[in-house]
């Protein structure tokens, strides 16, 4: 099976002139993301996690190296062609126009609507897909609210609903549960697992919550100072000698009593 992503010798610098940049944000990354897996991307602040996600979404372009999406160079895709296969959910959005929640979710259909460009129109099917996304994320009651009037957690669910409306093959999520209460964290994880299991969707999740990603990710990619430290299953990444060398603090690691997966606690 062709991997969802093949990343080869990828380096990235912010700024137009990489020769003047002191330290690259990402350095010499080489790995694959298998089609149909849930991959967690973890690491300390400043390790390049969000930047990597933007490169996979083609929001940013690598300074060096190559990224392939299902065997084709990502740089050969138009942004709309990428959007037909990949949905990217950032941590936050800069809201300028007073769109309603329903209008925001409907934007997820842009890559599929007839006509394209400025002159396009949505079909009855587009609206059915949006309705289902609103229902799945428990935000139907917010549909007529202006996005600027909802809470941070509600806004995060709106962004995920917009991504689901794209019906992508790959879902890229940057801290998707950061603003959510425990109930909605659980709901989001269950939705991601269902999409992965029933539709074979590839899911890549950036998260600081090691215990959360340990429970539902097939593999974890650990980054530190822009380099890949390890890409293995959670048991092989979330261990003392690996994590303490990266996070530089004493940790306790045991097994979750329910799942048996690794559980990480900071020693104070």
In a domain, 13, yes or no: no
Q: Exposed/middle/buried for 124, CB within 10 Å: 0-12, 13-18, 19+? A: exposed
The label of the residue with tokens 């100072």 reads: 225
Q: Which domain holds residue 109?
A: 94-167
- Digit-coded pLDDT (tens) for 28-37: 999 999 999 9
- Digit-coded pLDDT (tens) for 16-61: 665 555 678 999 999 999 999 999 999 999 999 999 999 999 999 9
Residues above pLDDT 70, as percent of the chain: 93
As given in the structure block, the two tokens for residue 202 are 């590839």
pLDDT given at position 119: 46
Q: What is the mean pLDDT of residues 125-129?
A: 92
In a domain, 109, yes or no: yes
In a domain, 21, yes or no: no
pLDDT band at 123 (very low <50, low <70, confident <90, very high): confident
Whether residue 70 is predicted with pLDDT greater than 90 in this model: the reply is yes
In a domain, 106, yes or no: yes
How many residues make up the chain in this entry?
A: 268
In a domain, 198, yes or no: no
Whether residue 132 is predicted with pLDDT greater than 90 in this model: the reply is yes
- Digit-coded pLDDT (tens) for 146-184: 988 888 888 888 999 999 999 999 999 999 988 888 988
Structural domains in the chain (count): 1
Residue bearing the bigger pLDDT, 24 or 70: 70
Helices vs. strands in the chain: H and E counts, helices first: 9, 12
Largest Cα–Cα separation, the chain: 59
Whether residue 244 is predicted with pLDDT greater than 80 in this model: the reply is yes
Please state whether the predicted TM-score (pTM) of the whole model is above 0.85: yes
In a domain, 129, yes or no: yes
In a domain, 187, yes or no: no
pLDDT band at 11 (very low <50, low <70, confident <90, very high): very high
In a domain, 156, yes or no: yes
Q: What is the mean pLDDT of residues 194-201?
A: 93
């Amino acid at each position: 099976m062709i991997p969802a992503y093949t990343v080869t010798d990828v380096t990235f610098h912010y700024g137009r002139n990489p020769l003047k940049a002191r330290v690259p944000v990402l350095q010499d990354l080489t790995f694959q993301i298998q089609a149909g897996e849930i991959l967690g991307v973890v690491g300390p602040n400043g390790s390049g996690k969000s930047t990597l996600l933007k490169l996979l979404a083609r929001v940013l372009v690598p300074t060096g190296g190559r990224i392939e999406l299902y065997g084709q160079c990502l740089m050969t895709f138009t942004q709309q062609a990428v959007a037909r296969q990949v949905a990217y959910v950032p941590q936050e959005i800069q809201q300028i126009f007073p769109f309603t929640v329903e209008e925001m979710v409907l934007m997820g259909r842009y890559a599929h609507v007839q006509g394209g460009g400025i002159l396009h129109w949505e079909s009855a099917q587009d609206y059915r897909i949006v309705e289902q996304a609103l229902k799945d994320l428990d935000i139907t009651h917010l549909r007529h609210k202006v996005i600027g009037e909802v809470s941070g957690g509600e806004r995060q669910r709106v962004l995920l609903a917009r991504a689901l409306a794209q019906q992508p093959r790959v879902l890229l999520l940057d801290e998707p549960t950061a603003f959510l209460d425990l109930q909605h964290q659980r709901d989001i994880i269950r939705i991601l697992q269902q999409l992965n299991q029933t539709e074979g969707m590839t899911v890549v999740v950036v998260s600081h919550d090691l215990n959360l990603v340990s429970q539902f990710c097939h593999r974890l990619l650990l980054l530190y100072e822009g380099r890949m430290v390890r890409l293995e299953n959670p048991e092989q990444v979330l261990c003392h000698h690996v994590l303490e060398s990266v996070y530089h603090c004493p940790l306790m690691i045991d097994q979750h009593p329910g799942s048996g997966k690794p559980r990480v606690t900071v020693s104070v």
